[in-house]
Structure 1
Amino acid sequence: MFDWDDIRLFLAVSRTGTVRGAAKQLSLTHATVSRRLHQLEEKLGTTLFDRTSTRHILTEAGQNILETAQEVEAGMARIDRMAFARDSRLAGLVRLSMLDSLYLAIVQPFLGRFQARHPMIEIELITTDYLSNLAQREADIVVRITKTPPDSALGRKLADSPLACYAAEGYLADRPKLDRWIALTHEPARQPILSARTVLTANSLIIARDHIRDGLGIGLLPCFLGDQTEGVTRMPGIDPIPDMEIWALMHPDIKNVPRIRSAMDFLYEIFDEQRVLIEGSAY
C-alpha cells in the first residue's frame, strides 16, 4: 500500500523521467531512489515504469495510478497551506525563490532594512530560475523574470526588464575589427546583434557578465545587472531591447500570513525604488 513518501517518490520519477532527476528533486541519493522504487513495485506487485537506457516511462499500471497520486499530492499540499495560513505570527521562515543575479543586484543591498523591521523572520533563499511550485510550497514567494506568470498565482508585475549591449571599457579602448560575442542561452541574447563571432555561450547571467567585464567579448545583459557592473559600459549607438518582465508571486491561500505579507510588501517597496535602474532609464 502507498504511503506519502511512496507517492512523492513515484511522482518525482514520473515527472523527471529518471532516477537521477528524482533524486535531485527529493534531495536523496540515486541509490536510495532506485532501491525505494524497486521496493514500491514489489509492494504493489506490478511494474510502474519501463526502464530504457535513458528514461523511466510509465507502464499502463503506472498510468492508472498517476491521476490518483496527483490528487493525493494536491490534497496534502492543500492541508499544508491551510495550516500555514492560520499562522498569525510575524516570525518564522519565509522561502524566497529568485534568480541569483537579480537577488544580488536588487534585493541583497536592502535586506538589512527588512531584517531591522522584522528581526524574527528568517529568509530561506532559493536562487534558481526554475518556477518553483507554489501549490506544493517549494517556495512561499517567487520573483521571476517571465512574460507568462501562472494564472493560479497571486502577485504583481514589479518592472520591465530590458536588455542592453555591454562591453568592458578596456575592450572598447582596444576593440578588435571583428567583435567577440558572449552569448546567453536565453534566446534573445544568443545571436550577435552586430558583426561578431561567438566565443562563449553561458546559461548564467553572472558568468556572462564576468566574462564581459574581463574583456573576453561583448554581449547582452539585463540592465539591472549591466548598468551596475563596475568597468562595464553600454555599447555606443545601441538602444536597450525590450525583453521580459519581473513578477513577484505567491499562492493565494497564504496571502494573509503576516510574515508572507511583510516579505511581499518589502519586495514591492524595493523594486519600486529601483524600478528606474531595472528598466534601464537611469543610464
Structure 2
Amino acid sequence: MISADDLSYFLAVARHGRLVRAAEELKVDHTTVGRRLTTLERALGQRLFDRKPGGWVLTEPGQLLVEPAERVAAAVLSAHELLGGRGSRLRGNVRLLVPDGFGAFLLAPALSRLRSLHPDLTVEIVTATVHLAQSVRTFDLAVTLEEPTSHRVKRRFLTAYKLGLYATEAYLASHEPITSIDDLARHTLIWYVDQLLDVAPLRRIHDVLPGPAPIQSTNLIAHWQAAATGVGVAPLPKFIANGDPRLVRVLDQVEFEGGYWLVLPKEHMRLARVNALIEMIDWMIADRRLDLLG
C-alpha cells in the first residue's frame, strides 16, 4: 500500500538527489529516508532511483511517479490550508523562481508588505534567467521572461517592461560619440553570454546589437554594476537604470520591450500560501507600473 507520507520522502529525494539533503528538508535522519524509499519501492515492485556517485537519479518508473506524487502532496497541503489551517496564520515555505533583476529590484523591496501580513511565512527566492524546466517540482511559483510551454503549469502574462541603453557620463565623454546603433561596434558593450543566451526575448535584443559584447555575464546585476562604474554601454531595464544617478541614456530613440510571465504548477493553484505571494506580486506590479514602463 502506498501512503502519502512515503510519497513525500520520494519527492524530497527526487528534488535534492541526496538522502542527507532530503533528510534535512524533512527534519528526519537520512537512514529514515532510505528506509522509507525501500518500503515504497517494495510496495511498487519497481526501483525508483539509481544510486550513482553523483547522487540518486530517477529511473524511468521513478520519473513516471513524480507527477502523481506531486498531485498527492499538493492535495494534502491544500486540505491542510483549507481546513486544518482555517483561522490560523499562514505558515510554511514558498519557493519562487525568478530572473535576477526581477528578484532584486522588484520582488525583494516589496516583501515588507508580505511580512506584515504573513509573518510566519518563509519566502525562498531562487534566481535564474533560463528556460523553465519541464519538471515543476523545484518551485511553488515562478516568474519567467517568456511564456512557458509545459502543460503542467498555469500561466498568465504579468507585465511588460522597457529597456534602454545606458552608460556613465564619464564613459561617454572619453569615447567616440554614439549617434546610431552601428556606432556601438566601436564601444564596450555589456550583455549576456552568447553561448548561454537561449531565452528568446533576450536573444532578440542581442540580434539588434552590432557584433559580440566584449563583456558578457549571465547576471543582470553584473551588467548594471559594470555600466554604472564606467566599463561600457549596457541594455538595462528602466526600472533599474532610471533609479541610478550614475547612469544616463544612450540613444534615446533606441528602446526594447520585455515581459514577465507568472507561472505556477496547476496543483498549487489552491494553496493559500502561494496565493498570498501572487496577491503581493500583483500589488507590487501595480505599484511599480511607471518604473517598469520607464
Q: TM-score range by the shorter chain?
A: 0.5 to 0.7
1:22 to 3, 17, 39: 17
Matched, 1:200 2:223: no
Equivalent residues in 2 for 1:29-40, closer than 5 Å: none
- Structure 2 gaps of 5+ residues are 25-29, 178-185
Work out the CA distance in 2 between the residues paired with 1:83 and 1:234: 51
C-alpha contact 1:163 1:223 (8 A) present in aligned 2: yes
* TM score, norm. by length of structure 2: 0.66
Q: For 1:57 and 1:122, how far apart are their aligned partners in 2?
A: 31
Q: 1:197 to 1:151 in 2, by over 3 A?
A: closer
Distance in 2, Cα, partners of 1:219 & 1:25: 43
Aligned to 2:279: 265
Q: Distance in 1 between matches of 2:136 and 2:87?
A: 21
Picking from 7, 10, 20, the partner of 2:10 is 7
Alpha-carbon distance change, 194 to 263 in structure 1, aligned in 2, over 3 angstroms: closer
> What is the Cα deviation at residue 175 of structure 1?
1.9
Per-residue deviation, residues 129-184 of structure 1 (Å, max 9, x unmatched): 37599975843x43333333756545643311333222122211212582011121
Q: Which residue of 2 aligns with 1:164?
A: 164
Q: Are 1:88 and 2:111 counterparts?
A: no
Distance 1:92 1:256, change over 3 A: closer
Deviation at 1:272, TM superposition (A): 1.0
Measure the CA separation in 2 of the matches of 1:248 and 1:176.
44
TM-score, normalised via structure 1 length:
0.68
Displacement of 1:213 after TM fit?
Answer: 0.9
2:126 corresponds to: 127
Amino acid at match of 1:168: T
Q: Distance in 2 between matches of 1:261 and 1:229?
A: 33
Report the Cα offset of residue 234 of structure 1. 2.1
Residue type of the partner of 2:256?
A: I
1:239 alignment counterpart: 254
Aligned to 2:121, the other structure's residue is in SS state strand
Q: Does the Cα contact within 8 Å between 1:166 and 1:235 map onto a contact in 2?
A: yes
Could you say what the CA RMSD is over the residues aligned between the two structures, in angstroms?
Answer: 4.5
Are the aligned partners of 1:134 and 1:251 in contact in 2 as well (CA < 8 Å)?
no
Moved more, 163-172 or 79-88: 79-88
8 A Cα contact 1:50 1:56, kept in partner: yes
CA distance in 2, matches of 1:25, 1:191: 42
Seen in structure 2, the aligned counterparts of structure 1 residues 64 and 132 have a Cα distance that, compared at 3 Å, is closer
How many residues were matched structurally? Answer: 260
In structure 2, how many angstroms separate the alpha carbons of the residues matched to 1:158 and 1:5? 32
Residues 177-216 of structure 1: matches in 2 within 5 Å? Answer: 178-185=186-193, 186=197, 188=202, 191=206, 193-195=208-210, 198-216=213-231
Identity %: 14
CA contact (8 A) 1:84 1:254 kept: no
Residue 95 (structure 1) shift: 1.7
